[in-house]
Amino acid sequence: MPITSDYHLHSSFSGDSNTPMEDMILRGIELGLKKICFTEHMDFDYPATAKTPENYFVVNTDSYLYDLIRLRDKYAGQIVVNFGIELGLQPHLTKENAKYVKTYDFDFVIASLHICNRKDPYLPAFFESRPDKEGYREYFAAALDNIRKFTNFDVFGHLDYVVRVGMNKDNDYFYDDYRDILDELLTALVNADKGLEVNTGAISYGLRELNPSNAIIKRFRELGGEIITIGSDAHTGPDMTRGFDRAATVLKDCGFKYYAVFDKRVASFISIY
């Protein structure tokens, strides 16, 4: 397996996972991974619903860090365990997110857009009475707006996450339909020296391609993007590294020779050949 680091993992410290952190670490060792990074959810002001009550995606960071350090020391020499966060962006949270990131000594920060203009794309109302393309365009515009307001992150996670939940998913989804805004978005990432995550969690949603699409990854490289991380977005052990061989092939086809890992917010690069 050319990719030996999984840089997007959730454990029971995230509201949507019941898997103990130690189980994820043991699975990583079993898979032969050299390095993993937990990126528990931190989504301030996530809209409360019956399924996601208030603070559902707010991690107890002190408890999370305590367990991570304890387990990192326990398995030292077998696997490297890094301290990351998946930070949910919303424009009105810029100051709160900035303060939070500065409070902890993270190895890695993923910026993600789970809430678009105070709406959750997972809820049917987001796509109600309009075509997928309109919802996707709104999502990309919101992502660009957030990047303009907040840049204290390392990579943007699953950039086209919204296609996971569209009525037709990515069956009628093409870069050229959003080229104007996606080019601007990717250029903003490149100019800010930020990276892009290849998220293989797309596989479980039945998508044709990973998140983001091959065309986005290729265009990011054409525009000068160099930083690419790989994450399974696993919430259970069996999903760790799922699709990593496929991700390596996609990266090669898109012009990348390396993928990145982060320690103390500094990138280093590993060959995929």
The pLDDT tens digits of the residues spanning 34-83 come to: 999 999 999 999 999 988 999 999 999 999 999 999 999 999 999 999 99
Whether the Cβ atoms of residue 36 and residue 3 lie closer than 8 Å to each other: no
Q: What is the mean pLDDT of residues 193-209?
A: 97
Q: Is the peptide bond before 212 cis (omega within 30 degrees of 0)?
A: yes
For 101, other C-beta atoms within 10 Å of its C-beta total 18
Tell me: pLDDT of 1 over 80.
no
Q: What is the reported pLDDT for 113? A: 98
Q: Which of 112, 95, 133 is nearest to 231 (CA)?
A: 112
CA distance 127 to 137: 12
Q: Cite the beta strand spans of the chain per DSSP E.
A: 5-9, 35-42, 80-88, 108-112, 155-156, 195-199, 228-231, 258-263, 266-271
Quote the pLDDT of residue 45.
97
Q: In which band, very low, low, confident or very high, does the pLDDT at 174 lie, cut at 50, 70 and 90?
A: very high
Q: Is 5 a residue whose pLDDT tops 90?
A: yes
pTM to 2 decimals? 0.97
| pLDDT value of residue 10 | 98
The pLDDT score that the predictor gives to residue 81 is 98
What tens digit of pLDDT does each residue of 106-158 get? 999 999 999 999 999 999 899 999 999 999 999 999 999 999 999 999 999 99
For residue 58 the two structure tokens come to 């707010």
End-to-end CA distance of the chain: 10
**Cβ-based neighbours of 84, under 8 Å, separated by 6 or more:** 7, 37, 38, 39, 40, 106, 107, 108, 109, 110, 262
Task: Return the pLDDT at 13.
Answer: 98
Contact call for residues 230 and 198 (beta carbons, < 8 A):
yes
